[in-house]
Amino acid sequence: MPMSRRAAVTTAPLLAAALALTACGSGTDTDGGSRADGKIAGDITFQTWNLRANFKDYFNGLVREFEKQNPDVKVKWLDQPAENYAEKLSADAGAGTLPDVVNVSPDLSYPLAKAGLLMNLDKEKATAKFKGEYTPEAWQGNTLPGLGGSYAFPWYLNTGPLFYNKALFRQAGLDPEKPPKSYEELFTAAGTMARRSGGKTATLAGTPSIEDFGRYGVRLMNDDATRFTYNEPKGVELLTKYKQLYEHGALDAQALTNTPEKSGQKFLEQKVAMNPGGAHDLETFKKNAPSLYKNLGITDAPNNTGKPNMYVMGLAVNNRSDHKAAAIAFAHFVTDRKNQEAFAHKVAIFPSTKDSLRDPYWTEDDGTDEGRVRVASAKLLKGAVNYTPVVMSDEMKVVLKNEVAKALQGKKSPQQALDAAAARSDKLLEQS
């Protein structure tokens, strides 16, 4: 199932299709259900994203329970595969068949909301009243820049710890119980490790992503999300620091081309000292690298903002639904505290409802590998934010990655590289 930000929608065709819609799918019914504050009645569709294979019984149970509580409503559950989900949303938008309740991440909800297809939960009395049930971080995570509100009920959250190799820290004379918390501490530790290992041990396996710029404290975009600003002095400062790491062997030699899988393998082979991961990795370490497993530390990714990174999923309500009241009631039902906590006990995700993470399940290590990571990750969600701009497409991420590589190789200065990346991404944004 999708645990992180998924492929962004290509906004141009989606918006073109959505804006071309007429009143198709926005009819009215006679019982008032087409109003957000109307009668909770009617047949609605509920679409998830690659969840049926593993959670069929859970969602069928949710639907049965909701229909039992609301006998005038019938819910049809749809589930789409992870592959081409964005294209499916685009097709539904163009055909006027967008489901009444749809599973979205903020990057997917943005073009739909911009086209007027999703309900603004902050501006609708029937939905705004629920805001206090969710954590401020989760509600804010579904708030879209320039559109004046949140466009999805917060659903499950995720974050990821950073694993580090205590043995490599000891060998470099670094305190294994005090991993770097800020970027300055990270750069200092990385330089020390490279120097004392004679360039044989790198600290990191990858180049900086947009999330790194965000955690460093760089302003990524202007206030209305119409222009990228990561080429400002603080962004140049970060890339300059990474260039120095690369030149001194503190970044893996293949950092420019490493995929997440390759970076994970480097960490498994104990060639790099730090790498992000999840609970499933611990079993691999235990089986294939017992010495690493014995010396494994878990911390959060360094940041200068005091706010870790967070991924957020939500349930949006179709603003043109014939049965808005029923759609709102169901979206709220799925994302209420009881049902979110039940879902989070079945898979490595975290509920977005207020006070849920105070439960011992997320605060007390039960001695299992899963519990160890679960507790460490849950701590990170306090004050966490989604750093990746919702308007940043995969193509824009590739543009940034390629320009970063040119800077690390010395083909361009950090300023020139970031200026080029921002300019190209701005043009792509205008085209969308």
Convert the pLDDT of each residue in 51-81 to its tens digit: 999 999 999 999 999 999 999 999 999 999 9
The answer to whether 98 touches 80, Cβ cutoff 8 Å, is no
Task: Name every residue whose Cβ is closer than 8 Å to that of residue 260 and which is 6 or more positions away in sequence.
Answer: 206
Confidence of residue 368 (pLDDT cuts 50, 70, 90): confident
Residue type, 268: L
The answer to whether 129 touches 37, Cβ cutoff 8 Å, is no
pLDDT at 27 over 90: no
Q: What is the mean pLDDT of residues 173-186?
A: 96
Burial (Cβ within 10 Å: 0-12, 13-18, ≥19) of residue 8: buried
More confident site: 410 or 225 = 410
Q: Could you tell me the strand order of the sheet in which 162-165 lies?
A: 274-276, 162-165, 296-299
Q: What is the mean pLDDT of the chain?
A: 89
Q: Which of 84-98, 242-256, 400-414 has the lowest mean pLDDT?
A: 84-98
Q: For 290-328, write each residue's pLDDT tens digit.
A: 999 999 998 889 999 998 888 899 999 999 999 999 999
Residue-level pLDDT at 24? 40
Confidence of residue 11 (pLDDT cuts 50, 70, 90): very low
The answer to whether 45 touches 100, Cβ cutoff 8 Å, is yes
Residue-level pLDDT at 431? 87
Where along the chain do the CATH 3.40.190.10 domains lie?
11-157+310-374, 162-307+387-431
Q: Does the domain formed by 162-307+387-431 have CATH 3.40.190.10?
A: yes
Residue-level pLDDT at 33? 59
pTM of the model: 0.81
Residue labelled with tokens 């759609």: 327
Q: What is the mean pLDDT of residues 181-198?
A: 96
Residue-level pLDDT at 369? 77
11-157+310-374 maps to which CATH number?
3.40.190.10
